[in-house]
Amino acid sequence: MNAEEILLIKVQRLPEPERERLLRQIDEWIEQHVTPQPVDVQQAVAAVRSTWANISLDPETLRWIAEDKELEYDLG
């Protein structure tokens, strides 16, 4: 049994009011410790454009990308 399974069992054993309180505390902790994702789409697009075609890849990676049938390419 791994740590996640043990934790889940312990949380499930708590009475409902205590479980709800614990889950609220976990939500608060997550809000305090998780860095927010950028919401500015224009900023994200600018970051991609500024690095577009400037990344060097080794030949094996390039071959893998070229042969991947699920990738789509904009050749225009």
48 within some domain: no
Number of domains the chain is built from: 1
Residue 62 has phi, psi (to 5 degrees) of -60, -40
Number of other CB atoms surrounding residue 51 within 10 Å: 9
Q: pTM of the entire structure?
A: 0.43
| Structural domain harbouring 19 | 3-33
Q: What is the pLDDT of residue 4?
A: 92
CA atoms of 22 and 11, how far apart (whole Å): 8
Q: Which residues contact 43 (CB under 8 A, 6 or more apart)?
A: none
46 within some domain: no
Q: What is the pLDDT of residue 14?
A: 93
55 within some domain: no
67 within some domain: no
pLDDT block averages, 10 residues each, the chain of length 76: 91 93 92 74 76 73 74 60
For residues 37 and 45, the answer to whether their CB atoms sit within 8 Å is: no
Q: What is the pLDDT of residue 17?
A: 93
For residues 10 and 1, the answer to whether their CB atoms sit within 8 Å is: no
22 within some domain: yes
| 57, two tokens | 């890849």
